[in-house]
Structure 1
Amino acid sequence: MEPEMFSDDFALEGEPEREFHPGIAGRMAHKTVASGALIRDPDGRILFVVPNYKPYLDLPGGIVETGEPPSLGCRREVREEVGLDLPIHRLLVVDWTPGRGPWSDQVQFVFDGGVIPAGTPLRPQDDELTGVRWEYLESADVRPSLRRRLELAMRAVETGATLHAEFGHLLSGA
């Protein structure tokens, strides 16, 4: 959905709420929201980006902007990071990760970016990335939590289920 398509929904919601006790909303926790795309090639390798600001590979994607839906944030970030304007398919995994070091805790969405032909031209974003890599998950140099999240995403591709995780661990009953 495009954000402007929400205008009718906003109208149905009525006037924004006022705080009965000013300042309460400002004291509430604020989580970061991130979206990434699981993009594969016909051989089953995953497209990873090589960030210049952290030591491990990551999925194409990034932080969702204020007022931006996670799916559109994913599409925008993929376009900005690797130059692909792909349709973002269904949601595969929602995962919460705790804050560590300079990063706040996050709710991370992994969307299905589909399978693209081998040799598709990619344009890594110069100011954030040093390159891209096609890797099989088993051999990719990723953090253990991302490996767990991607294992769940691959399971979601196979089963058609959307999975809910915390720190890459499937919640019981999911």
Structure 2
Amino acid sequence: MDDDIRRGDLLAEGEPEREFHAGIAGRLPRKTVAGGALIRDRAGRILFLEPTYKPTLDIPGGIAEYDESPYQACVREVEEELGLALAIGPLLVVDWVPALGIWSDALAFVFDGGVLDQATIDRLAIDQVEARGHEFLTLAEATPRLRPSMVRRLALAQRVLDTGRPVNTDFGR
């Protein structure tokens, strides 16, 4: 969304409501929100990154910053991680991820990152701080290197590419 449109929309909302009980907003739980892109090559294989900060593969994308939408986070992170400004398409999956260990619960949004031709693939400039490398793999090939919830989420995202009907899931189910 364009910044001018957003500012206009916020102005149209009027004054923010006041807290009925002072301090309650600061005590409410916070969720992590992330936006990722399902990017494929012409053979239908998915683009996976090998992150430097975790042991499993991941799709391009990342956590939204303060006051950033999941879509904006996806666009920004894809450009940062791949070195290309790609056209990010419609929403495929919204997946709720429960709290695990030190991590709070989260909402993971997966958007259609489209199909890249070989010339675009050749221009990928992977951010070496974020990822050791990248691979195009089928979901079956990538499964041993993914968390089970990510396998479920991506399988659903692939199905949505065929049906055109986004899905809302709980932990990939």
1:50, 1:130 within 8 Å by CA — same for their partners in 2?
A: yes
Which amino acid is the alignment partner of residue 52 of structure 1?
T
Q: What residue is the counterpart of 1:123 in the other structure? A: 125
- Segments of 5+ residues of structure 1 without an aligned counterpart are 170-174
Alignment partner for residue 159 of structure 2, among 148, 155, 161? 155
Which AA in structure 2 matches 1:62? Answer: G
DSSP-derived class of the 1:168 partner: coil
Deviations 1:38-70 (A, max 9, x none): 000000100011111111000100001111121
**Distance in 1 of aligned mates of 2:52 and 2:59:** 14
Give the TM-score normalised by structure 2: 0.94
Structural mapping, 1:22-171, within 5 Å: 22-118=22-118, 120=121, 121-140=123-142, 141-169=145-173
1:2-34, Cα deviation, whole Å (9 max, x unpaired): 233111211111011111211111111100000
- Structure 1 distance, partners of 2:4, 2:172, is 33
Asked if 2 retains the 8 angstrom alpha-carbon contact of 1:94 and 1:107, the reply is yes
Query: Deviations for 1:68-123, whole angstroms, at most 9, x for unmatched residues?
Result: 12111101000001112111100000000012233221101000000001351211
Q: What TM-score do the two structures reach when normalised by structure 1? A: 0.93
- C-alpha separation between the residues in 2 aligned to 1:102 and 1:83? 31
The RMSD of aligned alpha carbons is 1.1
Query: C-alpha separation between the residues in 1 aligned to 2:99 and 2:2?
Result: 30
Q: Which amino acid aligns with 2:10?
A: F
Percent identical among aligned pairs is: 53
**Structure 2 CA distance, aligned partners of 1:41 and 1:129?**
19
Count how many residue pairs are aligned between Structure 1 and Structure 2. 169
Distance 2:30 2:114 in 1: 31
Q: Which shifted more, 122-131 or 51-60?
A: 122-131
Task: State the one-letter code of the partner of 2:167.
Answer: L
Greater than 4 Å deviation, 4+ residue runs: none
Alpha-carbon distance between aligned partners in 2 of 1:139 and 1:101, rounded to the nearest angstrom: 28
> Residues 103-154 of structure 1: CA distance to partner in whole angstroms, max 9, x if unpaired?
2211010000000013512111122211111111011021110000000000
